[in-house]
Amino acid sequence: MSTKSDCKIHYTDSIYYELEQTSRLMKKTTSQLFVKLEIDLTLDEYFALDTVSFNAGICQRDLAKLLLKDRANTGRILDTLEQKGFITRFIDTKNNRLVKKMGITELGLKELSMIDIKIDRYLRSLTRKINPQDVERVHEALKSFRIELEKVVEINI
């Protein structure tokens, strides 16, 4: 007697497919939400601003790794955020080398707070019908899966 784990399953029946589709739908949902709420940042700009807010003094290379973007794209995102007055860049040293680092400005903190207030209600509604313990279990499982992926994936940033 064979079990389901013994049988080859179609890709569309796999966890990988579910993760990919969920990720794509979440990105579309959030993009549509930003348009609906008239948020004047792209998702990438929001992710970068949020990440900088929790990682004061982060350099562009490290930010690029966290965002899974190449340095050129990360630089364009940072240019836009700097032009809007949401971040500031400064020169520092790291391992005896000059490195551009960044921090969030007061205006950036206000913008981030305003966006978080606007989107929080909508994002919480997505999981409203799911048991909070199940949401936490999925979160922990996804985090563990991501950590394992980071060990094997090659990212050239």
Looking at per-residue pLDDT, the higher value among 7 and 91 belongs to 91
Q: Which two tokens stand for residue 10?
A: 């179609």
Percent of the chain with pLDDT over 90: 69
Q: What is the mean pLDDT of residues 106-135?
A: 93
> From CA 59, how far away is CA 65, in angstroms rounded?
10
Distance of CA 131 to the CA centre of its chain: 24
At 4 the pLDDT is: 56
Domains of the chain: 11-128 (1.10.10.10)
- Give tens-digit pLDDT for 86-119: 999 999 887 888 888 999 999 999 999 999 999 9
Cα–Cα distance measured from residue 83 to residue 90, given in angstroms and rounded to the nearest whole number? 14
Check residue 19 and give its pLDDT. Answer: 92
Per-residue model confidence as pLDDT tens digits over 67-86: 999 989 999 999 999 999 99
pLDDT at 131: 93
Chain segment 28-42, per-residue pLDDT in tens: 999 999 999 999 999
Among 114, 107, 110, which residue's Cα sits nearest to residue 38? 114
